[in-house]
Amino acid sequence: MTLAVLGTGIMGAAIARNWLRAGQQVRVWNRTRASAEPLAADGAVVAETPADAVRGADPVVTMLFDAAAVADVMRAAAPGLAPGTLWLQLSTVGATGADELAALAGELGLVYVDAPVLGTRGPAEQGKLTVLASGPAEARARVEQLAGPIAAKVTWLGEAGRGSRVKLVVNSWVLTSVAALAQSVALADALDVDFLSLIAGGPLDQGYAHLKAPLMRRRDYPAAFPAGGAAKDARLVAELAAQVGVDSSVVDAARALLEEAAARGFAADDMAAVYEAVRSPGA
C-alpha cells in the first residue's frame, strides 16, 4: 500500500513521518517543494505534482490550509486518481467546505472520509492526534487501521461532514480560551503579577494556559497552531453558528484579535501571539 500525502506543513509533515516510521510507503507533495524535501530522509518519495503523488496510491490524504486549497489540489491530482480510491481529508475546512469537498469526491469517483484532527504540532509529532472521522460505514475499519500510527483516538461521527462540524465546536473553545488567556496575561503583566500562579492548582487552572501563557510572557511564538490559520478557523466557527442559529459574538471577538495579531506580522507565529493584539503597539 502506498499513501499519498498532499500538504506537508506543520501537521502534514508530522503525519507523513509517523506513517513512514510505521513502515508505510508514502509519497508527498507540497506547493512549496522545500517543505516536502526533508521527508525524503525519512523514506518518502517527493512528487513533482499532485497527480504524480496520487498515481497508484490508496489512500490519498489531504492536509492543507482551507477548502479552496484542498479543492484546487485535488482537481490537479485528478489525472492520477483511480475510481474508488479512499480520500482521507484531514484539513480543517468548515461545514460548507466539507460538503463542497464531498461533492467533488463524487465527481472524481472517490470514497470520501471527512476526518479533521484535534491536536497541534506536539500531538501530531507524537502520533497522538484525535481523528474526528465521518463518512461511509464501510470505510470505518480501514480508516481506524490507517489512523493507528498518527492518532491516539478515532471518534466516528456518522455521515461525511459531521467531522468538520464537530471540529469547529472544539476549535470554538480553543480560540476563545486563548484570546481570553491573552487578555488576562496582559492585565497581569501590566500589574507585575504572574497569572499562572494565581490559578495554579485551583478550579480555574487549565492545562492549555500552561502551554500558551509562557509563550505570551516571553513574547516568543514558535508555531504549533499559526495565528493566521486560527483566524480562518474562527471565521468557519462563525459561519457554522449562523447556520445553526447560535450567537457567535465571543468567537467573533477572538477572530478580531487574531486578525489584528496577523496584521501586526504574526500570522505565521503561534496563535498565542494574540497577546500582541491586546497590547498597545510598541508596548
- From 133, 159, 185, the end of a domain falls on 159
What's the pTM value of the predicted model, to 2 decimals?
0.95
Sheet with 129-133, edge to edge strand ranges: 117-118, 129-133, 151-156
Residue 282 covered by a domain: no
Dist. CA 140–CA 129, nearest whole Å = 17
> Quick one: 112 and 217 in the same domain?
no
DSSP character at residue 270: B
CATH value at residue 191: 1.10.1040.10
Average pLDDT, the chain: 97
> Quick one: 137 and 16 in the same domain?
yes
Let me know the angle formed at the C-alpha of 71 by 66 and 74, rounded to the nearest 5 degrees.
Answer: 125
Tens of pLDDT, residues 206-238: 999 999 999 999 999 999 999 999 999 999 999
pLDDT recorded at residue 280: 82
18 confidence band (pLDDT: 50, 70, 90): very high
> Quick one: 270 and 180 in the same domain?
yes
CB 3 within 8 A of CB 61: yes
Q: CB under 8 Å to 168, separation ≥6 — which residues?
A: 92, 94, 95, 233, 236, 237, 240
Residue 283 covered by a domain: no
Tens of pLDDT, residues 138-165: 999 999 999 999 999 999 999 999 999 9
Residue 270 covered by a domain: yes
- From 108, 142, 159, the end of a domain falls on 159
Q: Tell me which residue range forms the domain holding 137.
A: 2-159
**Mean per-residue pLDDT for 265-275?**
98
> Quick one: 213 and 149 in the same domain?
no
Residue 144 covered by a domain: yes
Query: What proportion of the chain, given as a percentage, has pLDDT over 90?
Result: 98
